[in-house]
Amino acid sequence: MNRALCASTALATGLLMAGGAFAQSSGTAVVEELVITGARGPLNQGGIVAVEAPKSRSTITQEFISRQQPGATVLETINLLPAVNFTNNDPYGSAGGDITLRGFDSQRVALLEDGMPLNDTGNYALYSNQQLDPELIARVDVNQGTTDVDSPTAAAAGGTINYISKVPSDVMGMRAEIGGGSDNFQRYYGTFETGKFGPWGTKAWLSATYTRNDLFRPKNSPIDAPGKIEKKQFNARIYQDLGDNGDFVSLIAHYNVNRNNFIRRISLTQYNMQGVTAANRPDTAWVYDATCTRPTPAAGTAQNEATTASGFTAACGNYYNNNINPSNTGNIRGQSRFHLLDNLILTVDPSFQYTLANGGGRTIMPESDLQLRTATDLNGDGDALDRVLLYWPNTSNTRRYLVTSSLIWNVAKDHTFRLAYTYDKGRHRQTGDAGYFDQSGNPENVFGGKNGYGEKVLLSDGTSFRRRDRYSVAELNQYSAEYQSRWLEDKLLVNVGVRLPYFHRELNNYCYQRDTFNAFCTTQTPFTVTGTNDGAGVPFVVFPTSANAPAGSGVLTAAQLAAFRAVYGATANPSVYFGQPRSFERNYHRALPSAGVRYDVTDQMSVYASYAEVLSAPRTDDLYDRNAVSPKAELNHAYDIGWRYQTPTLMATLTAFYNKFENRIERQFDENAQIFFSVNVGEVQLKGFNGEIGWQPTDALNLYGSLSYVDSEIKNDFPNGAGGAILATKGKELYETPKWQGATRLTYSVTDNVSVGVQGKYVGERWSNLTNTEKAPSYTLWDLDARYMVTAFGLKNTYLQLNIKNLFDERYLGDITTNTNGNGQFQPGYRRTFIVTLHAEI
């Protein structure tokens, strides 16, 4: 078995050198093949690849990925790498999670699939549970500090994560897995490889997966968590070689459907109640309610679905099935490489993405609320006396078109020049059409009243009752140039590049905007408030206060209040200020230089240094604020200096880094006005080091370790509303950024047929806010995997695998809902989990 593994590793290494499909984009693959990769090729130890690029990068392959639990999200498979901290919301990878990379949060890290950006076009969020099945991933590259020169992203103020799809096999065959485990986990996976067929040797694969599990019970909770997670995924790829010079064309298709119930978050106070008697412990705080009882509609009497007579907290607000996260996502990715001349190569990678998703939601709506314009019977009982529970999701629907292309000129041996162009256009529709719940509290359709899905809540004037109504276009035109060369008898590698992104946002808000997050959609006639404007001279407006509008009777002067009451009545009070519906545009562009050098001190040892400027344009929520004045784009200056050592049995890397992060955008809360707003808060500095080491003393034993230290410092106090109020953040650290992280893995082949792996990850304390008043405790998670190769009956590459997640049943807090100030909300960590998988290949 060991000889076979060594042979397969050598084959994979050769493919990494020669295959155009094994890098961030087809263009980057060509450049690395021609110049960066040395003659010996990258070393591979247990699926951890020794990187040769003149920048801080870590790489894993399918050999490593396959030892993780089946169905693991790609972001969890990289969690042992230096400076990466991924917190999975469940053991299986289907419930989502969050990632930080050298102190940059997920909205400032770019995630790419075969070079195609996956961050949301509006808020740059990453959705870890919607990624490609791990069995179909050949390789994952993590750039800890910067992007590649052709990275098609406007979000990556930090680094990039790019994963590469497997190329179809030359030989016909099938791969299948069936798995089961704790919390009624079930997973069924299959891939059919066509092998080469037809007159041109075309090859393809088709794949499908079904996964489901119940929600886990948080440790110390005496109540089972109701709800489940269900996931379906379909993938296909067709690949055509064009001669024997590496040219090819390829098309990949992906579609994913998730139907998730949320896992309830808790406060740090609730988490610390370990050991408190059941009589005093808030058990219901750990999980959502299993049932929901709604009042039966009855004509002539008032049904109230709120917890109080005049409140807005739903009596069924804690019911598990209106705390949901449905998503339908898909994409089509093309890749191609053509030799125009012997030394001139063109690559073109087009793609299309589709997203339809929301995070659930609900509202209590009085049937006489002024936002409805006229009294409206919402529950069908023939009167308008009630306060009714409505499904109230924020649904995002995106269609995104992209093409990345490179023209690579191999000027001479070890000297390559590249020009690259990217066009990326995302049409982003954000709607909040209300829908209905059934009598048990379940949404009639998970996408509410969106066109083509559930029944809309229609008002008397024919409009749809909604909480948000926006249409955005995000358009990127990016030009890049790069020169790579070797000097001094190939000992010195030099990379110089520049990226010129021209990022354009077209924004249309069809509702009145209260603050960064909250809109007010109505056909009421507002009252224009002269003398109070959005910063660009457009006056704010107010409405007569109704049961669903925030109170704000003190916002008008005496004269303004008299004019307001002359229109709406002598006892009417105004709501808070709202920004008016508007259409506007924003543009961001800047030349972003980069440079990197690597010098081979000996055949085994090298040193490198890199510098890059990286830009992150503001997110749509930051721009849809009620104020017309928008924050500037964030800018990061990233410096790396590193050392590498590589032999056939030992590889090690140590990197020191410094990031000067300017114009950081934060969402602030104005306590006086009770609104959220977005603002540039100045400079943040991040510095530290990260290292990794791999040692393979024998064919049977492989050891890996990584260590990271990140020191972050906010350089300014933050403004906090009107009147000169500030948050004391100067000298504080960033939230959700562990200062120390460490990871280790041991893999040992006990016999030719039996191998085991043990891995651990330490995560240090993490602040939940920017004033550093609350922090989550540190924790260490250990996992175990064991594999038995089934060699009977002539089976090849067939094995039984056991994975145990959280081996020692550590109690910990994972993902944090952070704050600029105040307390956060925490995701309870999953318990010890067992998974057994049968993997078969024919």
Confidence of residue 457 (pLDDT cuts 50, 70, 90): very high
State whether 191 and 143 are in the same domain: yes
Tell me: the pLDDT tens digits for 184-239? 999 999 999 999 999 999 999 999 999 999 999 887 777 788 999 999 999 999 99
The number of distinct structural domains making up the chain is 2
Does 689 fall in a domain? yes
Tell me: the pLDDT tens digits for 544-572? 988 777 777 678 999 999 999 999 999 88
State whether 746 and 611 are in the same domain: yes
State whether 56 and 80 are in the same domain: yes
User: In one letter, which amino acid is 477?
Assistant: N
Does 381 fall in a domain? no
Alpha-carbon span 763 to 159, nearest angstrom: 20
Secondary-structure breakdown of the chain: helix, strand, coil percentages, each rounded to the nearest 5: 10, 50, 40
Residues 335-372 as b/e (b if ≥16 CB within 10 A, e otherwise) read bbbbeeeeeebbbbbbbbbebbbbbbbbbbbbbebbbb
State whether 673 and 754 are in the same domain: yes
Confidence of residue 666 (pLDDT cuts 50, 70, 90): confident
Does 303 fall in a domain? no
Alpha-carbon span 169 to 175, nearest angstrom: 11
Predicted pLDDT of residue 4: 33
* Nearest by Cα to 396 from 471, 311, 456: 471
State whether 558 and 590 are in the same domain: no
Q: What tokens does 195 get?
A: 């092998």
Supply the CATH number for residue 616's domain: 2.40.170.20
What is the dihedral angle through the alpha carbons of 193, 195, 199, 202, rounded to the nearest 10 degrees? 60
For residues 407-423, give the mean pLDDT: 93
Lowest-confidence range among 305-309, 615-619, 667-671?
667-671
State whether 131 and 155 are in the same domain: yes
Alpha-carbon distances, residue 731 vs 371, 661, 728, 771, 838 (angstroms): 45, 14, 9, 9, 52
Alpha-carbon span 502 to 113, nearest angstrom: 22
Predicted pLDDT of residue 822: 82
Does 379 fall in a domain? no
State whether 541 and 671 are in the same domain: no
Instruction: Name the residue with higher pLDDT: 673 or 192.
Output: 192
Does 371 fall in a domain? no
* Residues in the chain, overall count: 842
Does 806 fall in a domain? yes
State whether 555 and 699 are in the same domain: no
Predicted pLDDT of residue 635: 92
Q: What tokens does 751 get?
A: 């016999």
Predicted pLDDT of residue 6: 36
State whether 587 and 548 are in the same domain: no
* Nearest by Cα to 637 from 234, 145, 240: 145
Does 382 fall in a domain? no
State whether 605 and 704 are in the same domain: yes
Domain containing 562: what range?
527-568
Tell me: the pLDDT tens digits for 357-375? 999 999 999 999 988 988 9
Query: Is 555 in contact with 529 (CB distance < 8 Å)?
Result: yes
Tell me: the pLDDT tens digits for 746-787? 999 999 999 999 999 999 999 999 999 999 999 999 999 999
State whether 790 and 736 are in the same domain: yes
State whether 544 and 626 are in the same domain: no
Does 695 fall in a domain? yes
The three-state secondary structure class of 636 is strand
Q: What tokens does 561 get?
A: 């209040």
